[in-house]
Structure 1
Amino acid sequence: MPSLSASPYRAKDPAKIGAREFLAVPAFQRKQLSLTVANGGVGKSSLCVAEAVTMASGEYLSSGIKCDIRVWLVNVEDDIDEIDRRIQAVKDNYFINDEMLKGKLFVNSVVRPQVSIASSSKEGTKVQTTTVDQFVKQIHDNKIDLVFIDPFVATHSVSENDNMAIDEVARQWIEIARKTNCAVHIVHHARKVDGGEVDAESARGAVSLHDACRYMRTLNRIKSEQNVKQGFLANQNIVKIDIRKSNYSKLEDSSYIELASCTIANGDEVGYVLPVERSARPASPKSSPKSSTNPTGSVAAQAAASATDLQILTQVAGSQVVREDDTHKDWLGNRAAKVLGKDKIKDRQWLIDAVNICLSQGMIIVTTSSNTRGPKFNRLIPTPSSP
């Protein structure tokens, strides 16, 4: 063991002190361990898959926040086919192609022994140095910036209620992050809360995991009867994300995702998540899309766009964060094209006209995004019901 000697303080130019390195958002910071905690079926794994895929593609969850990083998704619960299904659902709904992910996204479905970095022995907690070294080597060799581990319980075989043992497991993940200058994000289960809300104290097992992390968020499903009161549509499946701990960045307000599903090319119905925002009072109710030259749409489009088509457009505007700008990939017409049975390119004018009809008939309105992290933008939402 190297000897320890006290180091005298050496003043530095404050402008040259190393800045904290966040990867797009505060949840992911180089050299640090962060944590997502939720009960089963609330979308914690789906959220992390969406974050991994979109960040690898260059933009965090269609927020406008750009990033140029390599991401490694390590899953110990699902087989590779299921992970591929989830990734495909994200690609389909965030308009991500394979070229955007080439050399940026790394995916492994593994069994427990491959990721277990600590075990219990008669002498106490035994660190599996071979596993730790393998993680360090793979992260170094592939220049990984962000690692997702899902779930935490699969990365050890110690008692999850043993504070000292869990602290050692967490410290090993922190050491991996520091040695490789990457961010490590852990997905963890919550203990049973008997219908209550998962909070900072709800992580299953020893509290030392929460203590070792520098950032923690929890996911809670909003009851359907509360949707309208909280600014959402009644039929949306909404999950609230709360930041419970943020040592190196300010605590942000709650954010929201919707649990959605789609049919991928093999015929499977697969879940994914989309960021959503509470409906806001319209910033400019009379606004119309930038591309619009005929606010009411062409006669042909009005004939072709049925009442059902217009209702679908309105529903998509209510269930997803969609933009007014028809040049953006998240424009309402692009988002709704698949469910309408339209081609985003061949049927572009039809989609433009149909969106304009919805605007002219007052079915949807323009409002300003309340996104606090990314740049403001005009979005389309269903016209709020009169009180």
Structure 2
Amino acid sequence: MTPIFEVKSQRDGCNHGAGQRLDFAAIKAASVGSIESLIRRWLPAGYRRGDEWVAVNPTRGDKKAGSFSISLRSGVWSDFATGESGGDMIDLYSYLNGVTLLEAAKAVDNILGVSRTPRTAKIHALPLAKPISAVMSPLDTLRDPAGFPARTLPDHEGKPRFEKAGEEGPPHHNDEARRHVYTVGTTGVRIKIIRRNHAGALNWYRVTCADGVTGWQLRKPSGYREAPFVGVSDGFDRNPFDPSQSDNALYWTEGEKDADTLRSRGALAFTFGGVGDGLPSGCEEYVRGRDVIVVADNDQPGCDHAEKKAALAVLVAKSVRVIHFPELPPKGDVTDWIQRDGTLGALEKIVAETPVYTPAIMANVARNSIKATPYAWTDPATIPRRDFIYGRHLIRKFVSATIAPGGVGKSSLIVTESLAMVSGKPLLGVQPACRLRVWLWNLEDPHEEIVRHVQATAQHFALCPRDIEGYLFVDSGRDQRLVITLTDRSGTTILEPIVDALVAELVARGIDHIVVDPFVSSHDAPENDNGAMDRIVKAWGRVAQSANCSIELVHHSRKSSAGEAETTAESARGGKALTDGCRSVRVLNRMSKAEGETAGVDVPRSYFRVFVDKGNLAPPAETSDWYHLKSIDIGNQKDGYGDSVGVVVPWQWPDLMADVTVSDLRAVQAAVSKGCYRAHPQARDWAGHALAEVLRLDLKKPKDKRKASHLLKVWLASGALKKQVDKDDRGNDRPFIIVGEWANA
């Protein structure tokens, strides 16, 4: 058979050298946006029918189009006449040309130019809309279905074939080797029948006729959503996707037989079928947050298929390992390995010794691609200004950081600033240039806690839905992890597919600013590894550059050393490369007890100040930006008090001299000159009493007493008053306050 598209050789410009691994996930993602153009190229004699492309199957003696169709939305294809199917364009090319998946991936890559396209161009070329998932959610597979898809109306040839039957499925035939029942809950929804003598497989799907009769048809019905094969035979077997099993290792096998084999040994295993079944869109959701072991068959298609699964899993799983069995004969699988006296314990030992999977990131860099660029003189007037999007801290295309000890209020500050940006209102005194789209990704708190903070802040500042909706995006790390590194014994690697996916989503949503809170949860590298921190912060810089947005990394400070009173940029936990790599670094400091006394604040712990500290020079307290963490009841309790949430509001450091005039000073000097006043505030004849009488302060009130102390301190420092040691009425030496240089009238 003549290939529909010839695989290019090295001379043709393809850079796939011997042994080079392909980024299947990137090629598959790129092909989703080019499904129709690829199909028209490969099957030009076909025609469009709704969202499907119908064509004659060139791999067999098919004379009339009808049984062979490809979804133009997802790339899923099937031939109901033979039961053969696949999940994407790579599968389809492999099937049409009779080549391996690796060769097919190379061919699709050559057509689309994925490996030859700069990363940013590749990302912008991806479809902006997320494809509709072709799979059920994992939790939905734990419950019996409420019904079955409608039966497909048969054509003039009576296809698809239909058998009226219940849970037992279609009748057995002599060529049947075995059957595997795909279940949802405990109900069979699909039966895959493996035929003898390599005659292929038949897939039967449970459907309901218009008259309510249920049965099985030999074609995937419209609206069918894939569920994995788990081999659960009754309610007492452990379902791999039950939340109670989330901490246990999960094996992803190539076929149903292997899943049954591992399940019978006590392991958790699943599959969406073999190489020919493809991988349905969204299948990676079944391994989100799990320790996944991909088990490969010992042949090239099996290895390629395992690589594809691992590339998808690594985007969402906790860890991924790929297990090969090179000691087996060609096409050998884990079942063959078990039958050769292998045990689950021995397999687990192999898993433990296998390195964590690292995706193959293609780097098409030629030897002479690094070149020095001559500098061209530029008129300064034509250089764009730095694009500050909020104050002087957040800059488009740059990474900024916020450093603070735990519990000061940094996350609450971030929420208030985010709502200021999305609403375009100066909630904290900073006027955004315009309304901005903000992605708030809190990697610690559950989603409902983030919602409490957002709604409490909106309530305090009297914001309404139109101030927020469409501009604010919120995610919790408990629902959607964000880890851009993979660290093992060989070091820390940036997970470029995750970085690329993040950039694609930022671009698709038009997001101007993203908050990662806390930074430590976005990577798995040792914090004190400066080399790793340098790579990570530069990766975030590439995200900011590629997505044309600003990035805020919220980070904890280390425990204070002896003698340290201030949190500075140097106080950031871990390697210094993080703060060095950020364009702007600001720090938060809680109000000290002494500052509280000076400012006349009774509960100083609820106040904090913020200053940009790239140069590690802390400004005086009275010139910092101060904020108050105010408690807001969000009213989510009908009877009594609801949840109390801390909301950050602006606060001004009080100017205790604001209402004091020169005349007031002269009056105080006159009063002091007529008496004998002590310097110590505990003395009965303290100078503060004379000051309070003149300025009408009540020293029984803490605020007034603090003001009196502050004014005396200021005037002593200026020389308007001065201390002098003299004898008290008992003949002891005591410091007294007398008039210094008289104030001018």
Q: Does 1:129 align with 2:504?
A: no
Provide the C-alpha distance between the structure 2 equivalents of 1:207 and 1:70, rounded to a whole number of angstroms: 30
The residue number in structure 2 matching 1:206 is 575
Give the one of 377, 386, 391 matched to 1:25: 391
Q: Give CA-to-partner distance per residue, 1:280-338, whole Å, 9 cap, x none.
A: 354899xxxxxxxxxxxxxxxxxxxxxxxxxxxxxxxxxxxxxxxxxxxxxxxxxxxxx
Can you list the C-alpha shifts for 1:7-36, whole angstroms capped at 9, x where unaligned?
A: 222122222112100012111001111111
Structure 2 residue runs without a partner (length 5+): 1-364, 637-641, 662-695, 697-703, 712-745
- Name 2:477's counterpart in structure 1: 110
Q: Residue 240 of structure 1 is aligned with which of 579, 589, 609?
A: 609
Does structure 2 conserve the Cα–Cα contact (< 8 Å) formed by 1:112 and 1:154?
no
Mapped partners of 2:628, 2:539: distance in 1: 34
* Alignment partners' CA distance in 1, 2:660 and 2:383: 45
Distance, in Å, in 2 between the alignment partners of 1:277 and 1:149 is 28
TM-score (norm 1): 0.69
Asked if the contact 1:149–1:187 (Cα under 8 Å) also holds between the matched residues in 2, the reply is: yes
Residue matched to 1:85:
452
Give 1:112 deviation, angstroms.
8.9
Match for residue 271 of structure 1 among 646, 652, 656: 646
Mean Cα deviation higher: 20-29 or 126-135: 126-135
- Residue 10 of structure 1: SS of its match in structure 2? coil
1:225 CA drift (Å): 4.1
Give the deviation of 1:90 after TM superposition.
Answer: 0.7
Of 625, 632, 640, the residue aligned with 1:255 is 625
Displacement of 1:246 in angstroms is 7.0
The equivalent of 2:518 in structure 1 is: 151
Residue number among 552, 558, 565 corresponding to 1:185 in the alignment: 552
| CA deviation profile, 1:91-129 (whole Å, cap 9, x unmatched) | 011111111112111111124972100121333221112
Cα separation, 1, equivalents of 2:440 and 2:480: 17
SS at match of 2:393: strand
Q: Structure 1 232/103 Cα, relative in aligned 2: closer, same or farther at 3 Å?
A: farther
The equivalent residue for 1:326 is none
Identity %: 36
Give the superposition deviation at 1:47: 0.6
Partner of 1:308: none
Separation (CA, whole Å) in 2 of partners of 1:64 and 1:20: 17
Q: Is the contact between residue 24 and residue 60 of structure 1 (CA under 8 Å) also seen in structure 2?
A: no
Q: Greater shift after overlay, 251-260 or 31-40? A: 251-260
CA contact (8 A) 1:225 1:234 kept: no
Q: State the SS of the aligned residue for 1:204.
A: coil
SS in 1 for 2:371: coil
Alignment of 1:1-387 (within 5 A): 1=365, 3-63=369-429, 65-66=431-432, 67-111=434-478, 114-194=481-561, 196-229=565-598, 231-236=599-604, 237-245=606-614, 253-266=623-636, 267-280=642-655, 281-282=657-658, 387=711
The 2-side partners of 1:120 and 1:112 are apart by: 22
* Contact kept? 2:423, 2:468, Cα under 8 Å: yes
1:168-210 deviation line (CA, Å, top 9, x unaligned): 1111111100001100000001110057321121111111101
For the residues of structure 1 that align with 2:538 and 2:372, how far apart are their CA atoms? Answer: 23
Q: Which amino acid aligns with 2:632?
A: C
Amino acid at match of 1:205: G
Deviates more, 1:47-56 or 1:187-196: 187-196
Greater length-normalized contact order (CA 8 Å, ≥ 6 residues apart): 1
1:332-363 CA-to-partner distances (Å, cap 9, x unmatched) read xxxxxxxxxxxxxxxxxxxxxxxxxxxxxx9x
User: Counterparts of 1:217 and 1:64 in 2: how far apart (Å)?
Assistant: 16
Give the secondary structure class of the aligned counterpart of 1:11. coil
Unmatched 5+ residue regions in structure 1?
Answer: 286-361, 363-381
Matched residue count: 288
What is the TM-score normalised by the length of structure 2? Answer: 0.37
Report if the CA contact (8 A) 1:118-1:127 is conserved: yes
Q: Is the 8 A contact 1:112 1:155 kept in 2?
A: no
Distance in 2 separating the partners of 1:104 and 1:16: 32
Q: CA deviation at 1:157?
A: 0.6
Conserved 8 A contact 2:632-2:646: yes
Q: Which moved more, 1:144-153 or 1:128-137?
A: 128-137
Larger radius of gyration: 2
SS at match of 2:571: coil
CA contact under 8 A between 1:218 and 1:242: conserved in structure 2?
Answer: yes
Amino acid at match of 1:233: V
